[in-house]
Amino acid sequence: MTHPRLTLPAPAKLNLMLHILGRRADGYHELQTLFQFLDYGDELDFALRQDGEIRLHTEIEGVPHDSNLIVKAARKLQDLSGTALGADIWLRKVLPMGGGIGGGSSDAATTLLGLNHLWNTGIDVDRLAALGLGLGADVPVFVRGHAAFAEGVGEILTPVEPEEPWYLVLIPQVSVSTAEIFSDPLLTRDSLPIKVRPVPKGNSRNDCEAVVSRRYPEVLNALNSLKKFTEARLTGTGSCVFGAFPSKAEADKVSHLLAETLTGFVAKGSNISMLHRTLQNLSQETSAIHS
């Protein structure tokens, strides 16, 4: 018997600001950052397997099957839930890797929520977010699915409601390793803590920008090109940079003007992630069928 596939999005995120407050004994950095989602991302298909196997059918160059965050997330959920079920998984990769827009983390979060639904394990979002943190600092915000001010290493989340503008995201053709940026001796690590409210405006600073711009001239070039039109910021540890616009038309216009030398995409900012909007629709459809 073939099972129906569950198709779910894995949206990108932006860090609208990112301050580094210090370094912990384990080497991880204490941050303050503001996460917002984009209506743009990867897509995953899930189908049940009765034999307990986890099989990802889409290869990502340079990432072995068992190291893929999708496979790791699925196995962690199997262990936690004790289920005997498995899954076939397909990925449509859209998000650039090492782009600072959280592609791998979002794929992992979509896997946790998708398989939790498919396997009917009943594990709550708090436990899924804690499980996700073991896969990466950015996974919990994708599991919770609400724009958030994040503290700690990114896991202490306070939901916030920033404006939802249109963004132009430029993708410099370099992959930035997060670990490499966090280990740079020149990184600013002594920013003073700020209060969650009022929500910091989208155009406040990212403490990684100076180090990333120095190491990657392509990123500096993208920032300078975008700054001719609007405030430009790095997201996460890069490589992507973004600017906010009041309408899609204005973001598209700048995108076209830069298109000869820079690739990118235009997407709406959202405070409820596409993944969570899709899951909400799914549960409404299910309860309509059963009522």
Ligand X SMILES: Nc1ncnc2c1ncn2[C@@H]1O[C@H](COP(=O)(O)OP(=O)(O)OP(=O)(O)O)[C@@H](O)[C@H]1O
Ligand Y SMILES: C[C@](O)(CO)[C@H](O)COP(=O)(O)OP(=O)(O)OC[C@H]1O[C@@H](n2ccc(N)nc2=O)[C@H](O)[C@@H]1O
Minimum Å gap between C-beta 287 and ligand X is 31
Q: What is the residue-wise DSSP string for 197-257? A: SSPPPTTS-BTTHHHHHHH-HHHHHHHHHHHTTS--EE-TTSS-EEEEESSHHHHHHHHHH
Question: Is 92 or 256 the residue whose CB approaches ligand X more closely?
Answer: 92
Q: For ligand Y, which stretch binds (CB under 6 A), given 80-88, 177-185, 210-218, 249-257?
A: 177-185
Collapsing DSSP to helix, strand or coil, 115 comes out as: helix
Minimum Å gap between C-beta 179 and ligand Y is 4
Q: Which two tokens stand for residue 146?
A: 């609400």
- Rg over CA atoms, the chain: 19
31 binds, among ligand Y, ligand X, none (CB under 5 to 8 A by kind): ligand Y
Task: Give residue number: closest CB to ligand X.
Answer: 104
Helix (H) or strand (E) holding 30: strand 29-49
Residue partners of 169: CB distance under 8 A and separation at least 6: 12, 14, 38, 40, 101, 235, 240, 241, 242, 264, 265, 266, 267
Task: Give residue number: closest CB to ligand Y.
Answer: 136
**In the annotation, is 138 catalytic?**
yes
Question: Is 81 or 105 the residue whose CB approaches ligand Y more closely?
Answer: 105
Q: Which two tokens stand for residue 78?
A: 């199997």
Angle between helices 103-118 and 125-133 (to 10 degrees): 140
33 binds ligand Y (CB under 6 A): yes
Binding site for ligand X (CB under 6 A): 60, 63, 68-70, 97-105, 107, 138, 178, 236-237
Write out the binding residues for ligand Y, residues 94-133 only, by CB under 6 A.
100, 105
Number of amino acids touching ligand Y (CB under 6 A)? 18
Question: Is 11 or 136 the residue whose CB approaches ligand Y more closely?
Answer: 136
Q: Which entry of 72, 76, 107, 138 is annotated as an active-site residue?
A: 138
For ligand Y, the binding residue among 31, 38, 91, 148 (CB under 6 A) is 31
The binding site for ATP consists of 96-106
Q: Which two tokens stand for residue 68?
A: 């893929």
Footprint of ligand Y (CB under 6 A): 15, 27-29, 31, 33, 100, 105, 136-138, 153-154, 178-179, 182, 236-237
Catalytic residues, by residue number, are 13, 138
